[in-house]
Amino acid sequence: EAQVTQNPRYLITVTGKKLTVTCSQNMNHEYMSWYRQDPGLGLRQIYYSMNVEVTDKGDVPEGYKVSRKEKRNFPLILESPSPNQTSLYFCASSLFFRGVLGETQYFGPGTRLLVL
Amino acid sequence: QQPVQSPQAVILREGEDAVINCSSSKALYSVHWYRQKHGEAPVFLMILLKGGEQKGHEKISASFNEKKQQSSLYLTASQLSYSGTYFCGTVPDNYGQNFVFGPGTRLSVLP
């Protein structure tokens, strides 16, 4: 079954304790992306990756890191989480179409993060 | 720059039609439409590409006015299952790969 998986689904942590949220897709997609969703603000892109070893900042990259060492995996790293990073996080993947993102994005189930 | 969506919220009776609008200040390559139920991941509905190509569903259709950089999503004969928040997402027409969602339109369909 074609899918995007995220782990963990729920996470409670404390300020400053490094954490990683994993994302994996089995559709051989080139493009992967992380979003955070907050009430009233919609989904905002944190980082995206166009292929292995190619990543770029989205609209809200501060406080986050990513890496793309394999095509299927795109982990999101919070080196020193703060309470303002409490949010619902989604990973997504997509094919490229005509050299740009012209196809649908498939979303993972989401990770709810609470930073105390 | 985030696209603008209107209305922010709409309430319908089953069987009524709805239109949701999305506009951008930038030239766009594509506009994507997603629906999200509370607590779930967004689900793809529709994509419109520069040049007029369109993909979609039966009772849900959309248009893309390239001159105005505006897109509209049309929901016909709404069903209870149409309830949710609708987001448009945009890809700029400069070979940029960043994807920007609009703030969303909350649609409630009542029996």
pLDDT of B54? 63
* A25: exposed, middle or buried (Cβ count in 10 Å: 0-12, 13-18, 19+): buried
With cut-offs at 50, 70 and 90, classify the pLDDT of residue A9. Answer: very high
Q: Answer yes or no: do A104 and B87 touch at CB < 8 A.
A: no
With cut-offs at 50, 70 and 90, classify the pLDDT of residue A100. Answer: low
Task: Provide the mean pLDDT of chain B.
Answer: 89
Residue of A nearest to B49 (CA): A102
> Region A56-65: what's the mean pLDDT?
95
Q: Answer yes or no: do A100 and B95 touch at CB < 8 A.
A: yes
Task: Look up residue A19 and give its two tokens.
Answer: 């954490």
Q: Answer yes or no: do A42 and B91 touch at CB < 8 A.
A: no
With cut-offs at 50, 70 and 90, classify the pLDDT of residue A97. Answer: low
> Region B17-21: what's the mean pLDDT?
96
Residue whose entry in the numeric block shows the structure tokens 């995007």: A4
A113 neighbors A13 (Cβ within 8 angstroms): yes
pLDDT of B34? 94
Instruction: Decide if B1 touches A, using CB distance below 8 A.
Output: no
Answer with the residue of higher pLDDT: A44 or B29: A44
How many other β-carbons are positioned within 10 Å of the β-carbon of residue B51?
9
Nearest CB to B91: which of A40, A101, A110?
A101
Q: Which of residues 27-66 of A touch B (CB under 8 A)?
A: 31, 33, 35, 40-45, 48, 50, 56, 58-59
Q: Is the pLDDT of residue A79 over 70?
A: yes
Gap between the Cα atoms of A103 and A82, Å rounded: 34
**Three-class secondary structure assignment of B18-39:** EEEEEECCCCEEEEEEEEECCC
* B15: exposed, middle or buried (Cβ count in 10 Å: 0-12, 13-18, 19+): exposed
* B27: exposed, middle or buried (Cβ count in 10 Å: 0-12, 13-18, 19+): exposed
**Furthest C-alpha separation in chain A:** 44
pLDDT tens digits along B40-93: 999 988 888 887 656 566 688 998 988 889 999 999 999 999 999 999 999 888
Q: Is the pLDDT of residue B16 over 70?
A: yes
Q: Is B101 helix (H, G, I), strand (E, B) or coil?
A: strand
> Region B14-30: what's the mean pLDDT?
93
Which residues face A43 on adjacent strands? A37
